[in-house]
Chains A and B, each alone.
Chain A
Amino acid sequence: MVRTRLCPSPTRTTSPKPWTISELSTEHMSAPTGPSASPLKPSTSTPAIILCGIFGVKYLSHLMLTCMMNWISLNMLPILTQKTIKFDFCRHHRRWVAEKLGADATSKELEFTKKILSLDAKNYHAWSHRQWVLQALGGWEDELDYCRQLLEDDIFNNSAWNQRYFVVTRSPLLGGLEAMRESEVNYTVEAIIANPENESPWRYLRGLYKGDTQSLVNDPQISSVCLKVLSTKSNHVFALSTLLDLICHGFQPSQEFKNAIDALKTPDSDPPDSGLAKAVCSILEHVDPMRVNYWTWRKSKLPAQAA
C-alpha cells in the first residue's frame, strides 16, 4: 500500500543568526547624504539602495533571507505537502527583527500572521506570534472583529475562541472582562444554539465568569441555554455537563429542567427519588460512554445538597 501524505514535521526552532544592532555598523553606510549619526528605521517600502545605505549590506541580506523564507512558507505550502515547512521556520527570527523595527512593524506582522492563518487557521505558532505582536507592538483595534471573521468561517475554531478571550481580557481598548460580559454572553449563546456539540463556546461561556461562580449560577442566560439545548433532539453532552456544574454550585432547577431531564432518562435509570444531579450523571454515562469513568466519578462526588 502506498502511503503518500507526509506527517507534519515536529516543531522546530531553527534560528538563522540575526546580527545584533551593534554589528550594523554605520561605517558601512553610503547613504545619499553621507554618513549619519543615528540609524533610521526603514519602512518596508524603502527602496533597497537606501536600506543598504542606512543599515549596511548585512541587514539587507538578512531581510532578503527572511523574505525568502517567508515566501517559501507562504507560497510553497500548497505545492509541497502541507505543513512540511512550518511557519516556525523563522518565527523567532521575525520577532527579533520586528522588535527592532518597533511600531512600524505592527501592521506588517499582523498581516503576515493573517496570511498564515488563512492557510492554517489553527496554526499554534502563528497565534503565539500574533499574541506577541499585540502585546509588544499594539494593533488591538481590529482584533475582536478578526476573531469574529474567523469564527464566521469556522465556529469550531478553538484558537479563534481563545484569541477572543485574549482580546476581551487584555485589550487596552475594551473595558475588560466584566464590561464586555453581557455582549460576549449573547454572542456565545448564539454560537452554542447553532452548534451545541461545539466544545469551545461552552468553555468560553464559563471563562466569561472567571472566578465568579455565583454570577455564573445566577445568570439566567446560562441555565436557559442549557434548557434550550436539552429540549432539542441531540448533542446534549455539554449542556448536561454545564447544568451539572451549575447544580453543584447551588443552582436550583425549576420544574422545566426536571421535565427535560426526565425526557432523557434511560430505562435503567436511578430510582425516581434520586436527585436531579445524579440523574444528569447517569444520562451522561449513557450518552458519553467514552468518558463513563469520569461521569461515574462525578456522580460519586456530588455535594450533599445536589445529590
Chain B
Amino acid sequence: MGELEAEKHVQYILSVEKKKDDFESVVMEHLRMNGAYWGLATLDILGKLEIVDPDEVVSWIMTCQHECGGFGGNIGHDPHILYTLSAVQILALFDRLNVLDIEKVSKYVSGLQNEDGSFSGDMWGEVDTRFSYIAICCLSLLHRLDKINVEKAVNYIVSCKNLDGGFGCTPGGESHAGQIFCCVGALAITGSLHHIDKDLLGWWLCERQVKSGGLNGRPEKLPDVCYSWWVLSSLIMIDRVHWIDKEKLVKFILDCQDKEKGGISDRPDDAVDVFHTYFGVAGLSLLEYPGLKAIDPAYALPVDVVNRIFFGR
C-alpha cells in the first residue's frame, strides 16, 4: 500500500490559497470560506496549521460578515448559513472565537429556524437537512443551542428518515450519505441518537463500500473520496464502523492522491481539489492512519479543538 504524501498535500493547499485568478478559483470564488475551512482543517490534521498567519485569515473572515451577523462566502458575497459555519469552524481552529459577537451570530443562525423545526439556508428560504446540521453544529460550538427549538429541530430531522434507515434533504428525499452525515451529526450533538435504527442504518452505510474499497453515497453510484468522511463519520457516530473493510478504504484513499503535485481527488487519476483533499485526510484520520490528529466525527474539527471549546483544555 502507498503512503500518505503529507508534505505534498501541505504544499498543494498553500498553493491553492495563493491562487485567485485562475478559472477554478474564479468559479469557486463564492465559496472561498468553505475552501478555507477545508484547507486549514487539513493543515491542522497534518499538524501544520502553524505555518499559516492567523491574523490575515481572521481579518479576511471578519470582512465577510454582514450586519445581520451571517457570513458570506467571500468579500461582498451574500450571507448564508453554509459560510457562517465555516467561518466559526476556522475561528475555532485558530482559537479565535473571541473575535466574534456571539449573540449577533447566534441571532442570525437561530433566526433561520422555521415553524416546522427545519432550517433555511438564508433569507430566501431554501430548506434542507444540511442546514439543520449546520445550525446545530454552529450554535453548539458557540454554546448557544438554547437559542433554537431543539425538539422541533430534531422532529423535523426525524421526519426526513426513510425506510432504509437513511435520511434525505427533505421528507421523502432519497437517502444520501451526505444528508445522512448531517442528520446523524445533528442528532448526535443534540443527544438524540436514539431516534436512529443503528443496525438498519449501519447496514445501509456499510453497503456503500464497493469492490475497489471506496465508498459511494447512494446505491449504484461511483465511489468518491468525500464519502470516506460522510459514511465513515456516520458509522462512527452510531458505533458501527467495524462493519466496513477499513484496510481497503485506506488503500482507496491513498490511491486518490496526486503523488507528484499533492492533493487528493474524488477517485484515482482524476484532478485534485481542496474539497477532496480535506475529506480524504479527514477520512484517514477517522481510520486512525498514523501521524494524523484525531478528528471529531460530529463537529468535523480536530478533537483537541473540540476539547478546548467544551472542556477548556
Point out residues on A near B: beta carbons under 8 Å. Answer: 1, 3-15, 17-18, 84, 91-93, 95-96, 122, 124, 127-128, 131-132, 156-159, 162-163, 165-166, 169-170, 198-200, 203, 206-207, 210, 289-291, 293-294, 297
Contacts and interface: CB of A to CB of B under 8 A. Distances in A.
Nearest to B218: A158
Contacts of A200: 219-220
Nearest to B122: A15
Contact of B219 (A8, A10, A158, A169): A158
Given A3-B269, A3-B270, A5-B270, A199 B219 contact: yes
B91 interface: no
A93 B78 CA distance: 14
Contacts of A96: 124-125
Contacts of B269: 1, 3
B230 to A, nearest CB: 12
Contacts of A92: 121, 124-126
Interface of chain B, main secondary structure: loop
Nearest to A301: B199
B172 interface: yes
A158 B175 CA distance: 9
B251 interface: no
A162 B169 CA distance: 13
B124 A124 contact: no
Given A1-B260, A124-B169, A199-B219, A13 B82 contact: yes
Contact of A290 (B178, B209, B260): B209
Contacts of A6: 24, 271, 273
Query: Which residue among A9, A207, A289 has the maximum number of chain B CB atoms within 10 Å of its CB?
Result: A9
Interface in B196-246: 202-203, 206-207, 209, 211, 218-221, 242-245
Interface string B145-189: 000000000000000001110001110111110100000000000
A163 B220 CA distance: 16
A122 B218 CA distance: 10
Nearest to A92: B126
Nearest to B81: A13
A120 B28 CA distance: 22
Contacts of A159: 174, 218
A210 B242 CA distance: 28
B248 interface: yes
24 contacts: A10-B31, A10-B275, A12-B31, A13-B82, A13-B121, A15-B78, A92-B121, A92-B124, A93-B124, A122-B221, A124-B174, A128-B170, A131-B172, A132-B170, A156-B220, A158-B220, A198-B220, A203-B164, A210-B163, A289-B245, A291-B206, A291-B207, A293-B243, A294-B203
B164 A207 contact: yes
B293 interface: no
B242 A293 contact: yes
A4 B271 contact: yes
A291 to B, nearest CB: 5
Given A11-B130, A291-B243, A291-B244, 14 more contacts: A3-B270, A10-B31, A11-B178, A12-B31, A13-B82, A15-B78, A15-B122, A84-B27, A96-B124, A131-B170, A131-B172, A162-B162, A290-B209, A290-B248
Given A9-B28, A18-B124, A122-B218, A291 B209 contact: yes
Interface in B91-127: 121-122, 124-126
Contact of B243 (A91, A165, A297): A297
A131 B164 contact: no
Contacts of B121: 13, 92
Nearest to A162: B174
A12 B130 CA distance: 12
A13 B80 contact: yes
A5 B248 contact: no
A199 B270 contact: no
B241 to A, nearest CB: 10
Contacts of B242: 293
Query: Which residue among B27, B218, B219 has the maximum number of chain A CB atoms within 10 Å of its CB?
Result: B219
A170 B28 CA distance: 38
Contacts of B244: 290-291
A127 B270 CA distance: 27
B80 A15 contact: yes
Contacts of A157: 220
Sorted nearest first, the 7 A-B pairs with minimum C-beta distance are A162-B174, A92-B126, A199-B219, A156-B220, A294-B243, A158-B219, A3-B271
Contact of A7 (B178, B245, B271): B271
B248 to A, nearest CB: 7
A3 B178 CA distance: 26
B276 A7 contact: yes
Contacts of A199: 207, 219-220
B305 interface: no
Nearest to A99: B125
A180 to B, nearest CB: 15
A15 B221 CA distance: 29
A7 B272 CA distance: 7
B132 interface: no
B23 to A, nearest CB: 9
B257 to A, nearest CB: 11
B93 to A, nearest CB: 19
Interface string B36-78: 0000000000000000000000000000000000000000001
